[in-house]
Amino acid sequence: MLQKYLDRFNNEPYGPLLPANNSRFFKTLVSIGALFPAKRAVRSQCKVCGAELLRHAWTYDDQSLICLKCGGKVELWQPLAAARVREDWLPAQLSAQLADAEPVCLVPNRLWRLATVSMGQKNVSVYLFRYIWTDEVDQTIAALDADATERQVLLTTKRIVPAELSGNGRMAIPLVKVARIEREGLVTSVEQLESAIALLDPNPERSTPAGRWFELSDDGSVLRLQGEELSLQRKQRAFALAIAEAHDAGQPRPRQSWVLRRAGYSTKNTSISQICSRKEFARFIDWKNGEVAIRRHLLPPA
């Protein structure tokens, strides 16, 4: 639901009216404050310049509506209910949930500093970037440079983000990876933010590698632990390599869903025996609480 909302939030010009209906989507967004309640609206088309516009209007206003572009006479369509996106809702919610803070707008309608949070030994400034396809990102990058902080994380309103936004201690993460909308409102997970940062961050000095207590061959075919070896086949190799990759990025216990996706498995796999039916496998790999890890100590043979 969050991405669907963000698609509206990303509309240009900012804050247009959205034709409303009785769907769960609309009801939830209004009840949590992400949208203003729907009100009567009319769509008008200018008889002179052709401009089309949807705007709130009372019945008694209809006769006096004129084109906002050229002042010409307009033709009105059937009235409908429409709601407006509450522009301050998203940045305010994110700031409050990340650090009990208030957002600071750095580029109007585009970029907000949400909060500064500490992760590992570093302070990380978190931003919301409302990214529009047609945008030049230069202005955003200049604003981020001017706001110099040790590390910067941009939460973006689109799933795909321009590559130039990452690098030099800065990284962009789609907001939908760390937040979701539920019936009660926006839910932001600092934990998911931390693991997203750790997994994205290729620079070992910026993370806190715990040091490997196991050996994994480069192709992932052999895992060695406490002098014993486990041989791995096909996708199991990708599975072990993914755990090791997260491990090196400072996440020795990555989420099962991330590892499964990374290794090309369906996230519907719910038990370790679906990855490998050999009992041996579970002696080396720990799988619980939604996380997966390479064990520090081998389990005794079954």
Judged by DSSP in three states, 155 sits in strand
Structure tokens at 170: 């800065």
Structure tokens at 295: 């064990």
CA distance 242 to 88: 39
Distance of CA 234 to the CA centre of its chain: 31
Is the CB of 46 or the CB of 285 nearer to Zn ion?
A: 46
Closest separation in Å from C-beta 72 to Zn ion: 4
**68 part of the interface to Zn ion, by CB under 5 A:** no
Structure tokens at 215: 């050996």
Q: What are φ and ψ of residue 272, in 5° steps?
A: -65, -25
Name the residue among 149, 5, 136 with its Cα closest to residue 127.
Answer: 149
CA distance 223 to 44: 68
What is the total count of residues that contact Zn ion (CB under 5 A)?
8
**51 part of the interface to Zn ion, by CB under 5 A:** yes
Within residues 22-41, the interface with Zn ion by CB under 5 A covers none
**76 part of the interface to Zn ion, by CB under 5 A:** no
**72 part of the interface to Zn ion, by CB under 5 A:** yes
Among 48, 105, 160, 210, binds Zn ion (CB under 5 A): 48
Is the CB of 69 or the CB of 296 nearer to Zn ion?
A: 69
Among 32, 41, 67, 292, binds Zn ion (CB under 5 A): 67
Distances (CA, A) of 278 to 209, 262, 266, 281, 299: 30, 21, 19, 6, 14
Closest separation in Å from C-beta 84 to Zn ion: 22
Q: Give the other-Cβ count within 10 Å of 154's Cβ.
A: 23
Among 4, 21, 37, 49, binds Zn ion (CB under 5 A): 49
**45 part of the interface to Zn ion, by CB under 5 A:** no
Closest separation in Å from C-beta 49 to Zn ion: 3
Residue ranges in contact with Zn ion by CB under 5 A? 46, 48-49, 51, 67, 69-70, 72
